[in-house]
């Protein structure tokens, strides 16, 4: 009976490692798709009216900041992960407006990029999980 317990623990570890690899692959696939679908604005420099930059052109956002902010995160304790947009990014700027681009607002139409990326890759990701369990 002790040998059976040892085998089952080894099997569980193998399944967990394989599942983590498949989750990571799925997250990378969704991330790549989201980056491809992410809208990128054009840099429009307005003339500042007040403050230390008065009379100089400025913009609060750089094009591509939202796209650069798309990243993945794997849980260390659970078999789960996330594809995240917004928050911190690889540049010093913060793409705090990711949810507004995705869902829209009263003044801005929605330009979804995360949900379509998930929907586009859902079948492929789920096929990876079923392969893990076979």
pLDDT in tens, 38-80: 998 766 667 777 777 777 776 666 778 889 889 999 998 888 8
Res 63: pLDDT: 79
What is the domain count for the chain?
1
Angle at 36 between CA 30 and CA 23, to 5 degrees: 10
pTM of the model: 0.75
Nearest-Å Rg of the Cα atoms of the chain is: 21
Give the whole-angstrom CA distance, residue 30 versus residue 33: 5
Structure tokens at 52: 């230390």
Beta pairing class for 71-74 and 46-47: unpaired
Give the range of the structural domain holding residue 77, as residue numbers without chain letter: 2-133
Segment 7-42, tens digit of pLDDT: 678 877 887 888 889 889 999 999 999 999 999 876
Helices (H), the chain: 2-37, 65-68, 98-103, 114-133
């Amino acid at each position: 009976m002790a040998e059976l317990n040892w085998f089952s623990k080894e099997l569980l570890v193998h399944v967990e490692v394989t599942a983590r690899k498949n989750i990571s692959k799925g997250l990378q696939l969704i991330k790549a798709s989201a980056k491809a679908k992410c809208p990128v604005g054009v840099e429009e420099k307005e003339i500042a009216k007040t403050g230390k930059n008065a009379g100089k052109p400025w913009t609060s956002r750089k094009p591509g900041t939202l796209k650069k902010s798309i990243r993945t995160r794997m849980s260390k304790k659970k078999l789960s992960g996330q594809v995240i947009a917004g928050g911190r990014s690889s540049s010093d700027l913060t793409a705090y407006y990711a949810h507004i681009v995705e869902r829209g607002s009263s003044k801005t139409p929605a330009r979804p990029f995360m949900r379509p990326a998930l929907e586009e890759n859902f079948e492929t990701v789920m096929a990876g999980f079923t392969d893990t369990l076979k």
